[in-house]
Amino acid sequence: MAIQWITGTLRNRKVWSDGLFTLTIHCPGVLEFEPGQFLQVGLPLPEKHLHRPYSVASPHGDDLEFFIVRVENGELTPKLWDLEIGQEIDVSEKATGGFTLSHTPRAKVLWLLGTGTGLAPYIAMLRDPKIWDTYERIVLVHGVRFLADLAYTDELERYSKAYDGRLIFVPVVSRALAAHGFQGRITQAIESGKLEQIAGERICPETSAVMMCGNPQMLDDVEQLLNDRGMRKHRRNEPGHYVVERYW
Ligand SMILES: Cc1cc2nc3c(=O)[nH]c(=O)nc-3n(C[C@H](O)[C@H](O)[C@H](O)COP(=O)(O)OP(=O)(O)OC[C@H]3O[C@@H](n4cnc5c(N)ncnc54)[C@H](O)[C@@H]3O)c2cc1C
């Protein structure tokens, strides 16, 4: 089915580090969606309409946020990086995708694992009351290469305080020393037992639901680790323990 486009306007552009940025697009008319779903974002070029899917990093509203990384030699992202405030940008009217709390199992602890811009869907979820009403504790693990890539930390630390420690934020930084959190990769943080030590919770079928999003290698490796612990992918007709969103 042809995508219905809404012409939005770039309201704000926040740069976290070189090539890592958040665009806030004013695009009233996007249909109601659930945090974790994605929209198509794109530009009408003379030769074609160039668009890609992006998780919305904010709940439904007239202004929507997208957390994006500029991919070297990428077709669209260098053009998105160059956009200036006030310029027009197309957003699809209808969101899609099942990486949402409705499709995630209930448990005591919700583990949110994301690399790079795989943080985006979790920001949208944390800004919505549902996650706080559903899970006792939330452990958000953000894997990045450099400290400067740790976006949204002020907001995350605010939630940790506001919700009385129910959110545990664990930065995992592979190429620099993390002041708190873990130095290395998410898989190493799990394998070494350090992540569970920091969180004070176990990743196990009895208490945990896991969402993971971002780099395909991390997803494959973590899936394997979870399977080894007796956890299974959650499916509509076959309840399990974890759900996955692949960006590429
Ligand atoms: C459901 C879904 C949600 C997505 N949400 C986001 C999002 O919130 N933020 C975001 O930045 N991207 C997101 N993506 C990826 C996005 O759709 C594009 O693939 C990406 O922006 C590259 O577009 P491009 O035209 O510049 O690169 P292309 O010319 O299409 O090149 C694609 C290549 O870029 C690399 N790549 C793609 N995405 C990333 C990434 N996030 N980080 C590092 N390398 C990448 C991969 O090597 C991929 O093969 C999402 C993808 C899917 C399927």
Last residue of a domain, one of 92, 112, 143: 92
* Same domain as 106, residue 39: no
* Same domain as 229, residue 107: yes
What value does the mean pLDDT of the chain take? 97
Spatial contact of 66 and 54, defined as CB atoms under 8 Å apart: yes
Report how far ligand 1's centroid is from the alpha carbon of 39 (Å). Answer: 13
**DSSP structural state of residue 200:** T
Last residue of a domain, one of 47, 65, 92: 92
Report how far ligand 1's centroid is from the alpha carbon of 88 (Å). Answer: 21
Q: Has residue 248 got a pLDDT over 80?
A: yes
Report how far ligand 1's centroid is from the alpha carbon of 216 (Å). Answer: 11
Residue nearest to atom 29 of ligand 1 (CA): 74
Between CA 98 and CA 100 the distance in angstroms is: 5
Between CA 114 and CA 239 the distance in angstroms is: 22
* Same domain as 124, residue 234: yes
Between CA 68 and CA 137 the distance in angstroms is: 27
Question: pLDDT, tens digit, for every residue of 51-66?
Answer: 999 999 999 999 999 9
75 lines ligand 1 (CB under 6 A): yes
Pocket test for ligand 1, best of 33, 34, 54 (most atoms within 8 A of CB): 54
* Same domain as 156, residue 34: no
Please state, in angstroms and as integers, the Cα–Cα distance from residue 19 to each residue in 52, 82, 176, following that order.
Answer: 17, 10, 18
pLDDT of residue 7: 98
Question: pLDDT, tens digit, for every residue of 113-151?
Answer: 999 999 999 999 999 999 999 999 999 999 999 999 999
40 lines ligand 1 (CB under 6 A): no
* Same domain as 222, residue 143: yes
Structural domain of residue 186, as residue ranges? 101-246
State the virtual CA torsion across 3, 65, 149, 147 in degrees, nearest 10. -160
Count how many domains the chain has.
2
Residue nearest to atom 6 of ligand 1 (CA): 54
Q: Has residue 177 got a pLDDT over 80?
A: no
How many other C-beta atoms lie within 10 A of the C-beta of residue 3?
A: 14
Please state, in angstroms and as integers, the Cα–Cα distance from residue 115 to each residue in 4, 8, 69, following that order.
Answer: 30, 28, 11
Report how far ligand 1's centroid is from the alpha carbon of 53 (Å). Answer: 8
* Same domain as 59, residue 173: no
Between CA 126 and CA 141 the distance in angstroms is: 13
Q: Sheet with 167-173: list strands edge to edge.
A: 182-183, 167-173, 137-144, 109-115, 208-214, 242-246
Question: pLDDT, tens digit, for every residue of 194-204?
Answer: 999 999 999 99
28 lines ligand 1 (CB under 6 A): no
Residue nearest to atom 28 of ligand 1 (CA): 74
Residue nearest to atom 5 of ligand 1 (CA): 54
CATH number at residue 149: 3.40.50.80
Under the phi-then-psi rule, with left for phi > 0, alpha for psi from -120 to 50, and beta for the rest, what region is 41? Answer: beta
Question: pLDDT, tens digit, for every residue of 216-244?
Answer: 999 999 999 999 999 999 998 999 999 99
Report how far ligand 1's centroid is from the alpha carbon of 225 (Å). Answer: 25
Question: pLDDT, tens digit, for every residue of 38-94?
Answer: 999 999 999 999 999 999 999 999 999 999 999 999 999 999 999 999 999 999 999
Q: Has residue 178 got a pLDDT over 90?
A: no
* Same domain as 230, residue 158: yes
Terminus-to-terminus CA distance in the chain, angstroms? 22
Q: Has residue 1 got a pLDDT over 90?
A: no
